[in-house]
Structure 1
Amino acid sequence: MFYKGYYHFFYQYNPDAAVWGNITWGHSVSTDLIHWHHLELALVPDQWYDVEGVWSGSATILPDGKPVILYTGSSNESLQSQNKAVPEDLSDPLLRKWVKVSQNPMLVPPPGIGHTDFRDPTTAWLESDGLWRIAIGAKEGTTGLALVYKTSDFLNWTLQRSFLHQIAGTGMWECVDFYPVSLTGTNGLDTSKVQGNQLVKHVLKASLDSNKHDYYTIGTYSTDLKTFVADDPTRDVGLGLRYDYGKFYASKTFYDPAQERRILWGWANESDSQLDDIKKGWASVQTIPRTLVLDHHTGSNLLQWPISELDSLRGDKVVKQDILLDGGAMLKVDGASGAQVHLTFLNSRMQSCA
């Protein structure tokens, strides 16, 4: 989220080891999404309802500018619940201390949903009826689904009768994400500010616990029925498009009001063994943040690219002319240095940025 000039990034973290366990919320801040400063842990597993882990969730900025965190806690009986935390000091732009509210746990699995199949609330969105809504990942049997809850105060919640969406055979939906994209422009959209706007589509994404891949689909959200319908059922959640076809999971977007864009983060869980991670002292990395927009040429997929701030890391441009590229030959570009090099060929000219 973006708060008082800082981007805040919260992430799943074990402060004691490079293996799974003691899951807390790590916290880092940045002014450019490139250079980051580690802060104190934001949330730790210290209550009966989250003693087995402070799991994934989301942050929401309320209209008065106050941020709220919703997260999943796991109890010592493996009961998954939804909980709330608020900043201790709103005047601190770094938001270094968070307080869990006394009303926790606010939500436990409803009838028909298993105790271990109820997690990862989305960022909340405000609708025209004045109520906030969140989606939570779940499953019934082997059917993956997203539940919807509504509230006026972020403490008292009512379950919507109909699911936001469901797909048979996809299993548990983790880290559900739900947001609008513009049919005409390239700016990102705040989910709470598109009510009645017909020039948008919505994106629904779920991380499938069964195969550890992230799938998204594009479709229409009915503000009357509070349900989502994919434009192409053959490319629905778990059946079609993925953000990334490498090691990429548990992704999350947020709306950046500073630059009016939708930013995507992803977790690259790598392919190292646990022994490798222990030797390194750390496990997994976060991908470079990406800007997302709808592909206006097709209307059926998203376009994504590294955020523009990444260009600030580039070195000097090196231009070479009249170079013959012969198949199988080694090409040395004097003057270009760096761990990575970006090559561009233009009209038989090659440009290199280190």
Structure 2
Amino acid sequence: MTEPLRPLFHFTPPRGWLNDPNGLIFHQGFWHLFYQHNPKGTDWGNMTWGHARSTNLVHWEHLPLALEPYGEGTIFSGSAVLDERGIAGCGKRALLLFYTFAGKPFDQRMAFSNDAGKTFQQLAWNPVLPNIEGENRDPRVFWHAGAAHWCMALYVRRGTSDGIEFYTSPRLTAWSFSSRIEGFYECPECFELEGSWVLFGADGEYVLGEFDGMAFHPEGERLKLDYGMNFYAAQTWSHAPENRRVLIAWMRGGSYPGMPFNQQLTFPTEITLHEIGGQKRLCRQPIPEISLLWRESWQVTDTALVPGCGLTGLWEGEAFDVEAALILEPGAQLVLTVRGSTIHYDAARAQLSCFGRTASMPLREGKLLKLRVLCDRTSIEVFGGHGEVAFSNCFLPDTAQRTVALAASDGGVHVTTLSVRLIRS
């Protein structure tokens, strides 16, 4: 094993640095993933767009670099759209990349491909949106059917105030200001889901509301997509089949000593809306395609956890997909341990904890706890309930810790089903 810290089923570049996912789009049968990349070293810098594609979101083919630094600037984050009618003047069904040119000053530019993303050319009349103020960046471009025009969500700091500004365009090559919403930082994402609009920035704090193609009107409080230590700059795929909304994020802050790469992405998750405690919530669960990676599977059903004698030492490996449905009595304390890392649920406080982070999560119907845990060589992702609570965490494994265990110190826990699946690369 020459790369012991290379994740088995989380995306990493072959070599060099990785950060924000960019330009996510489904096109001609492939899920395209672009990403912030330094192909010349394992530290941040020399920002370039790396490129990979997949037919199933779990097996990735690395492609040549899509956008490289030029002139006096590098290539910061952005998005991708499909120009079906060729209104931008780059050809019908051209694949368009919108990105921040990090020069002096920053501005927003476009590149296009007429060969299904194999090669890209710069638009002759760049920039499509000149500098607004300071380091304005991270254009997220999308079509608004009701308003019948294209929209761009852009991070803009005005003075000391962070916010997302919206711009509109009929032809994608020139943009007009429409509105601003305060309090969001970097990498905006905006989309419609099951009749509601969703808006969030890089830290994953989201708000639901209405977007009329000009302005976003929040409804309710801001909530968290993720409570973990390593979740940043999440984006979703455009033009996904069957109206799926699939999300991936940078697991910012992981450590990979001695490896030829640095940083990884989360495993792709599918986003849905559920009503939790009378409130609409975004919920995330691993995409079902993960089953393509299952190697072996074990299941426990209809079992009570006896105090001092849990389920331990039965399963061993490097990477797991663990799924559990449990009935908890009031006051029960559940501990799920995966490769030495513990996920704890306190029924009395209705709290789920992992890696020192805690989130409120009442039991469903007052008794049912559902957990899903993805463990890779350098990361653990936890999803509770419908997925309204999630933790994305990186860790450096103890090679001696290779098992999964489930215990309840004082009893009061009944295992309805527990599935432990080994993951292959």
Q: TM-score, normalised by structure 1?
A: 0.77
- Is 1:340 the counterpart of 2:344? The answer is no
Provide the aligned length of Structure 1 versus Structure 2.
302
Q: How far apart are 1:230 and its partner, in Å? A: 1.4
Match of residue 124 from structure 2? 102
The answer on whether the counterparts of 1:86 and 1:98 sit within 8 Å (CA) in structure 2 is: yes
- Please tell me the residue identity of whatever aligns with 1:23: M
Unaligned runs of 5+ in 2: 1-24, 86-92, 327-414
The answer on whether the counterparts of 2:80 and 2:238 sit within 8 Å (CA) in structure 1 is: no
Match of residue 329 from structure 2? none
Match of residue 80 from structure 1? 106
Match of residue 133 from structure 1? 151
- Please tell me the residue identity of whatever aligns with 1:241: K
Quickly say closer, same or farther: Cα 1:176–1:142, change in 2 above 3 A.
Answer: same
Q: How far apart are 1:248 and its partner, in Å? A: 0.5
- Please tell me the residue identity of whatever aligns with 1:180: E
Match of residue 187 from structure 2? 175
- Please tell me the residue identity of whatever aligns with 2:159: G
Q: Secondary structure at the match of 1:41?
A: strand
Question: Which residue, 188, 199, 215 being the options, matches 2:205?
Answer: 215
- Please tell me the residue identity of whatever aligns with 1:327: P
The answer on whether the counterparts of 2:140 and 2:153 sit within 8 Å (CA) in structure 1 is: yes
Q: Residue by residue, what CA displacement relative to the aligned partner does 1:165-195 show, whole Å, maximum 9, x if unpaired?
A: 223xx6xx2100111111xxxxxxxxxxxxx
Quickly say closer, same or farther: Cα 1:337–1:214, change in 2 above 3 A.
Answer: closer
The answer on whether the counterparts of 2:141 and 2:150 sit within 8 Å (CA) in structure 1 is: no
The answer on whether the counterparts of 1:151 and 1:158 sit within 8 Å (CA) in structure 2 is: yes
Match of residue 191 from structure 1? none
Structure-to-structure mapping, 1:99-248, within 5 angstroms: 99-110=121-132, 113-114=133-134, 116=135, 118-160=136-178, 162-163=179-180, 165-167=181-183, 173-182=185-194, 200-207=195-202, 213-223=203-213, 226-232=214-220, 235-236=221-222, 240-248=223-231
Unaligned runs of 5+ in 1: 183-199, 208-212
Q: Residue by residue, what CA displacement relative to the aligned partner does 1:195-227 show, whole Å, maximum 9, x if unpaired?
A: xxxxx21111012xxxxx32111112234xx21
Q: How far apart are 1:320 and its partner, in Å? A: 5.1
Quickly say closer, same or farther: Cα 1:341–1:154, change in 2 above 3 A.
Answer: closer
Q: Secondary structure at the match of 1:296?
A: strand
Structure 2 distance, partners of 1:263, 1:251, is: 10
* Percentage of pairs with the same residue: 26
Q: Secondary structure at the match of 1:174?
A: coil
Higher strand share: 2
Match of residue 38 from structure 1? 62
Question: Which residue, 252, 259, 263 being the options, matches 2:246?
Answer: 263
Root-mean-square deviation over aligned CA pairs: 2.5
The answer on whether the counterparts of 2:166 and 2:215 sit within 8 Å (CA) in structure 1 is: no
Q: Residue by residue, what CA displacement relative to the aligned partner does 1:233-271 show, whole Å, maximum 9, x if unpaired?
A: xx24xxx42434331101111245323210111000134
